[in-house]
Structure formats: structure tokens, C-alpha cells
Amino acid sequence: MNKPVRLVIVDDHAMVRQTWRMVLQRDVRIDVIAECSSGDEAIECAVKVGPDVMLMDINMSPVNGFDATREISQICPAVKIIGTSINNQPAYVRALMQLGAKGYVTKNSPSTEMIEAIIIVSEGGTYICKDVENKMDNKKFT
């Protein structure tokens, strides 16, 4: 087996980070190596730790997920970012992908989909959760 994906969870809610860590650590292909509670921390962590993948919450302050994604994509292009939010609007997702994110899952996505996204993105692919993808296919939502 290959080495597990080195993952950092970025979310301003401790409960969300703990829940994801618990769920994702169950998969032998994923190793949660750090948690960050802000965009600032995420940028610093990307530089210091150089994870394979970061799960990036979008709605944080003072530095939000859009700004952190833009910054990390420029200074640490090897770090792949998957955006996470409650928001499932295609325009929101497109904006994040244009800043350098490689994937997007809503916080309502099942854990199996979250794991699938992490694995696909870590292998160089891109992943957009079914919830958003269905809206993108159906143009009347954009």
C-alpha cells in the first residue's frame, strides 16, 4: 500500500474539526496530521508542514477560505485544497476552483464522498461533490 494521504483540516469550529478527524482517521488511506482554526493558521501550516491535501472551510475570519486558498496555491502549489462549506451554489465553487482549489464538498456530503474526494484529489484529480455537480449540469441553477 502507498503512504497515506497527509491531511490538514481547516475549520473555525472545533467540533467540526474533531468530527472530521474522527471519521477520516478511520480510513487507513488518510492520516490527519494537523488541524487549523483559521485561514492564517492554514497558510502557516501549509508552509511548515507541507500536507498533501487540506480540507478548507470557506467561511472563516479574518482570513477566509478563498483568500487562504489563493495564498497557499501560490506559495505551496504542491498542497492540494478541497473547499468545504454549507454553500452548494455552482458560482461559489467555480470561484474557489479558479483560485487554485482542486475539489469541493459541502458539509452535508456523506463521509464516504469526503473520503473519495480526498483520495481523488491527492492522486492529482479534481472532485466536485454530487450535490453541486447536479446543479452545474442543470443550467437553470447557475
Domain locations in the chain as residue ranges: 5-141
Beta bridge partners of 88: none
Q: Is 122 helix (H, G, I), strand (E, B) or coil?
A: helix
pLDDT string in tens for the chain (142-residue length):
579 999 999 999 999 999 999 999 999 999 999 999 999 999 999 999 999 999 999 999 999 999 999 999 999 999 999 999 998 888 889 999 999 999 999 999 999 999 999 999 999 999 999 989 888 865 544 3
CATH code of 5-141, in short, is: 3.40.50.2300
Q: What is the pLDDT of residue 134?
A: 85
Q: Name the pTM for this structure.
A: 0.93
**What's the CA angle centered on 130, arms 127 and 131, to 5 degrees?**
120
Q: What is the pLDDT of residue 123?
A: 96
Q: What is the pLDDT of residue 138?
A: 59
